[in-house]
Amino acid sequence: MTSIIDPNSPLRLGVVGNPISHSMSPQLHQQFAQQFGMKIQYGKICPTVKGFNRVLNDFFQSGGYGLNVTAPFKQQALQYATIITQRAEDSQSVNTLVKTKEGILGDSTDGIGFVKDLHHKQIDFQNKRAVLLGAGGVARCIAQALLLDGFEVYLINRTQSKAQTMADALQHLGSIQLYNNEPAIDLVVNSVSFNAEQFLQQIQFDPKAIAYDLNYGAKAESFLTAAKDYTAQQFDGLGMLLEQGAESFGLWTGKYPDTSSIHL
- Any idea which residues carry the catalytic annotation? 74
Q: Output the CA–CA distances (angstroms, integers) from residue 199 to 97, 158, 192, 236, in the order listed.
A: 35, 10, 11, 17
CATH 1.10.10.60 fits 114-236, yes or no: no
Which residues of the chain form CATH 3.40.50.720?
114-236
pLDDT at 193: 85
- The closest of 207, 214, 211 to 199, measured between CA atoms, is 211
What is the third-level CATH fold of 11-108? Rossmann fold (3.40.50)
pLDDT at 256: 96
pLDDT at 129: 98
Stretches in the chain below the pLDDT threshold 50: none
**Which pTM was predicted?**
0.92
Which residues of the chain form CATH 3.40.50.10860?
11-108
Give the helix/strand (H/E) hosting 243. Answer: helix 238-253
